[in-house]
Structure 1
Amino acid sequence: MPTKIKLRDAISIGVGGMVGGGIFAVLGLATNLAKGGTPISFLIAGAIALLTSYSYSKLSFSYPDRGGTVRFVNQGFGIGVFSGGVNNLLWISYIIMLALYASAFGSYAPNLLSMTGDQTIDSHIYASGIVIFATGINYYSIAVVSKIESIAVVTKLVILLGFVAVGVYGLFGNPYLEQLSPQYWESPFHLVSAGMVIFVAYEGFELIANAAPDIENPEKNISKAYSISVIFVIALYITIACVTVGSLGFDQIAGAEDYVLAEAAKPMLGQIGFTVITVAALLSTFSAINASLYGGSRVNYEIAEDDEAPHQFTGMFWNQPIGLLITSVATLVAVNVLALESISTAGSVGFLFIFSVVNLVAYRLSKEIKGNRLISGVGSVACGVALVALIAQQFTSNRLSVYIAASIVVGCFLAEFVFKQREHPAQKKHENR
């Protein structure tokens, strides 16, 4: 009988999923878009995540399944082209997130070598190397993946909370503190769109759904795990954003966009602080890559089991689902082809779309799950409006990102349509699941 997951462990899963590589990768991007209003952008994105976590909590309690989001979408819409397209998008979004984490690792890694004067290695080599290394660990032992994640969650939280404590103290008397005042904020539209570009930093709470079958006292603890983890991370991100904007000039932030959190530690702690945050970033992104490779391969396996992808994906390679190798190779392609903003935009588009659908599932099944239709309905609409705002903003500033994101979404549904057209009806053994 599997060991039951206690509330604190469930909260750790949610917090660990959110505070992965996302905050290290997108903080500089958010600040360049929102300027002094960056904390507001994180609040807006967090509010949408909190609304969505309500729907997830109700669905997780009513339909506990290690398939998590895949199960919810299938439960709400049945197994078909639409649900298959959404679940394919979930898998691809995992790949996009992996590329984001790897890109962040590649941006922070050269900082350690800069102290020796050696910066000759391209960041893409670091990014590719860490993906290959993490893939090897996943093939070697899933137990090792779990141990790395457990250590990383505690370590990165201790470092980030220490950064926040010292940073808040250091704000007093800092000449850049005034940058947080409303006169330095961008327009409301830009605050919203900046929040949506960085929405990927919140998506990890959905990992709680995969652990729902093993959470003890689920009637109370599932809901608490979602709400506590999301609220904690919202507060953490807002404080980190305040410390960053209040410690560095906007030109300094722009110059260190890819590793701005480490740069923000310099005014308070000097080179030691810069180095400690860099190490935390490397550890966080590495652990996030480890865990996301595992999660992505399982999503691929689940959708194949539910006849929403070719059954060849249920095959094994070196005692792991073939999806692990495919996910790894696709990540290597993405991180070496796409720019950071394009990766972040594609990831946010994918998860905003998916979360809008999950909220809609909770709205449609509100009687069965004993949920509040208004909260789920507002969550679905909020995700949809945020998605439109993100696309509109990116279309004016980075049109290529929109084309990439749109191609991914359309491609997922088109692939599912073609697959269903070729699938023999007798194979639909999970139709009434």
Structure 2
Amino acid sequence: MGNRVMKISKQRKDKAGKKSMHLWEAVSIGIGGMIGAGIFSILGVAIQISGNAVYLAFIMAGIVALFSTYSYAKLGARYPSAGGPVEFLIKGFGDNIISGGFNILLWIGYVFALALYARAFASYAMTFFPNAHHIYLNVFATGIILLFTAVNFIGSKAVGESELFIVTIKVGILILFSLIGFFSITPSLLSPEHWPSVNNVLFAAAVVFLAYEGFGLITNAAEDMEDPKKTLPRALFLSVVVTIMIYVGVSLTVVGNLPISEIVKARDYALAEAAKPFLGMVGFKIITIAALFSTSSAINATLYGAANVSYIIAKDGELPKGFDRKVWGRAMEGLFITAGLVLIFANFLDLEGISMLGSSAFLLIYAAVNFAHLRIYTETNASPYVIWISIIGCLASFGVLAYYEIKHSPLTLVVLVLVLGGSFMSEWIYRKKTSRTLKSKTFP
């Protein structure tokens, strides 16, 4: 994700260094950040929980994301910085354990996302080897992480340079999938009579929030926009609204073409399975290949961009001077620590567990950004009431997800508590040992 923002930002400056990123270019960053590997992996889990009402879950999660978008829009317009949420946290909370701990949690959130992408890649790869032993799921997940760890270590730009092309292809495939599949929907499969309980829909909404976490990437490109005060808010809201529409279209097509029982059986590659009724095995293979490309590009982009920058900030206290592959040269251990954590989560947790951890982490991060905004809302001319609604939405979704984990996956909740405690404890210990401080930009 991160390298796509950096690459587009660099391309949109003329020789004189003039800022020249326009609205729809910024929107494409947000849509590309959200509509990635997550929809290929998380959809089956969401349908298992909410059944044929899954599209309602995507709408609810999208509404929560829209309210958080308000804070990101206001903060990004007032503090245009490549630091994005890290900058916002420091501005709101100051240089302390709270802002530092949440930055570490942000890094861990990207680790969860990487693990989810690796696990999804493995699940789709396994469809080419239907009789293979289950252990090969871990082999594929491990292999793809090791591959892109090597790519980042060597510094090859081959995959990064194709990132924007891959994003365009996968988004196009999802739109075509929705449009073609819409005409073969069986209305009875969408009947409200088959909806599960309201609680299940709420649980699913909290889980699929992870599929919206990428909208914040637009704020990282604010410095390169012609007029961030106008362009940034519009780009944020447009990207989330368009993404909601695509997610709803995809989910309706899936549950409208396959009985829930068949989707659950193939939950780890539900999108490909849903293509069979109207596109046959050719459609299944096309979606599978699209998923493999999507998860691969997401692993490369997240490992290169978001995860490494978050690690550098946590370690050094400031944003790297240059956004290029030399960033790992400043702290090469970060690459291996990040990859090592990803391998642990990808090999010892399933898609449902990883997606719950990822959604939980990002819901807390967005709640924290909103709390930070509440402390400085007079500087951004924001409405405290809207910010409070966003905070309540994020925390309520987190509470729903925590309750679901208690009932269905207590181990996931234990891991989450350890991660949360570890993030802030690590920040406290690191500050004591190094006297590292978090540095913020100065804005007029």
TM-score (norm 2): 0.89
1:244-263, aligned counterparts within 5 Å? 244-263=254-273
Contact 1:297 1:322 in 2 (8 A): no
Q: CA RMSD in A?
A: 2.1
Q: Distance in 2 between matches of 1:323 and 1:7?
A: 34
- Equivalent position SS for 2:128: helix
In the TM superposition, what is the alpha-carbon distance from 1:145 to its structure 2 partner? 4.4
In the TM superposition, what is the alpha-carbon distance from 1:201 to its structure 2 partner? 0.8
Note closer, same or farther for the CA distance 1:11–1:317 as it changes in structure 2 (3 Å cut).
closer
In the TM superposition, what is the alpha-carbon distance from 1:348 to its structure 2 partner? 0.7
Name the residue aligned to 1:409.
420
Name the residue aligned to 1:205.
215
Q: 1:28 aligns with which of 44, 54, 64?
A: 44
The reply on whether 1:112 has 2:122 as its aligned counterpart is no
Q: 1:219 aligns with which of 226, 229, 236?
A: 229
1:68-217, aligned counterparts within 5 Å? 68-114=84-130, 122-141=136-155, 143-171=157-185, 174=186, 177-217=187-227
Q: 1:329 aligns with which of 340, 350, 362?
A: 340
Amino acid at match of 1:233: T
Percent sequence identity is 36
Note closer, same or farther for the CA distance 1:145–1:9 as it changes in structure 2 (3 Å cut).
farther
Amino acid at match of 1:125: V
- Equivalent position SS for 1:40: helix
Which range moved further: 190-199 or 99-108? 190-199
Note closer, same or farther for the CA distance 1:146–1:221 as it changes in structure 2 (3 Å cut).
farther
In the TM superposition, what is the alpha-carbon distance from 1:432 to its structure 2 partner? 9.5
In the TM superposition, what is the alpha-carbon distance from 1:106 to its structure 2 partner? 0.4
Name the residue aligned to 2:9.
none
- Which sections of structure 1, spanning at least 5 residues, go unmatched? 309-314
Contact 2:106 2:361 in 1 (8 A): yes
Note closer, same or farther for the CA distance 1:325–1:340 as it changes in structure 2 (3 Å cut).
same
Q: Distance in 1 between matches of 2:438 and 2:212?
A: 35
Name the residue aligned to 2:4.
none
Contact 1:60 1:222 in 2 (8 A): yes
Name the residue aligned to 2:407.
396
Name the residue aligned to 2:10.
none
Contact 2:203 2:404 in 1 (8 A): yes
Q: Distance in 2 between matches of 1:270 and 1:11?
A: 33
In the TM superposition, what is the alpha-carbon distance from 1:123 to its structure 2 partner? 1.4
In the TM superposition, what is the alpha-carbon distance from 1:44 to its structure 2 partner? 0.6
| Count of matched residue pairs | 419
In the TM superposition, what is the alpha-carbon distance from 1:320 to its structure 2 partner? 6.7
In the TM superposition, what is the alpha-carbon distance from 1:149 to its structure 2 partner? 1.4
1:385-425 deviations in Å (ceiling 9; x for gaps): 1100110112111111111111111111111122233344x
Q: Distance in 2 between matches of 1:321 and 1:55?
A: 34
Q: Distance in 1 between matches of 2:52 and 2:437?
A: 53
Give the 4+ runs in structure 1 shifted more than 3 A: 117-121, 139-146, 315-322, 421-424, 427-433
Name the residue aligned to 1:296.
307
Q: Distance in 2 between matches of 1:341 and 1:268?
A: 28
- Which sections of structure 2, spanning at least 5 residues, go unmatched? 1-16, 320-325
Contact 1:18 1:202 in 2 (8 A): yes
- Equivalent position SS for 2:184: helix
Note closer, same or farther for the CA distance 1:198–1:63 as it changes in structure 2 (3 Å cut).
same
Name the residue aligned to 2:249.
239
In the TM superposition, what is the alpha-carbon distance from 1:188 to its structure 2 partner? 1.6
1:347-362, aligned counterparts within 5 Å? 347-362=358-373
Contact 2:90 2:440 in 1 (8 A): no
In the TM superposition, what is the alpha-carbon distance from 1:127 to its structure 2 partner? 1.3
Q: Distance in 1 between matches of 2:134 and 2:438?
A: 55
In the TM superposition, what is the alpha-carbon distance from 1:4 to its structure 2 partner? 3.2
Note closer, same or farther for the CA distance 1:168–1:129 as it changes in structure 2 (3 Å cut).
same
Name the residue aligned to 2:65.
49
- Equivalent position SS for 2:181: helix
TM-score (norm 1): 0.92
Q: Distance in 1 between matches of 2:87 and 2:291?
A: 33
1:113-152 deviations in Å (ceiling 9; x for gaps): 44xx767871111111111222223334474344221011
Note closer, same or farther for the CA distance 1:2–1:331 as it changes in structure 2 (3 Å cut).
farther
Contact 2:100 2:438 in 1 (8 A): no
Note closer, same or farther for the CA distance 1:336–1:218 as it changes in structure 2 (3 Å cut).
same
- Equivalent position SS for 1:112: coil
In the TM superposition, what is the alpha-carbon distance from 1:339 to its structure 2 partner? 1.8
Q: 1:276 aligns with which of 281, 286, 293?
A: 286
Q: Distance in 1 between matches of 2:440 and 2:275?
A: 54
Amino acid at match of 2:307: G
- Equivalent position SS for 2:172: helix
